[in-house]
Amino acid sequence: MIRRRPQLLWLLVPYLLFVGVLPFVNRVPLLFLWLLGATVLTPMAVAMAWRGDRKR
């Protein structure tokens, strides 16, 4: 499926942003800003996936 619709890989961005921080929760300064940035980037990544999928 990914070979036919690679634009759906944009949906991995929010997952990686939120889950990627878990091992570093105590080490990342300004964790709140990291989570806020990931929350802001999530709709952008979904829009990119939707936009790419719509062009097909």
Q: Compute the C-alpha angle 20/21/22, nearest 5°.
A: 95
Sign of the C-alpha dihedral computed for residues 16, 51, 44 and 46 taken in this order:
negative
Of 56, 54, 44, 55, nearest to 11 (Cα)?
Answer: 44
| pLDDT attached to residue 43 | 95
Q: What ranges do the domains of the chain cover?
A: 6-54
* Whole-number Å distance between alpha carbons of 32 and 5: 33
* Whole-number Å distance between alpha carbons of 25 and 19: 10
* Whole-number Å distance between alpha carbons of 11 and 56: 17
- Per-residue pLDDT tens, the chain, 56 aa: give them: 556 778 888 889 899 888 887 787 777 677 888 888 889 999 999 998 888 877 65
> Global pTM?
0.72
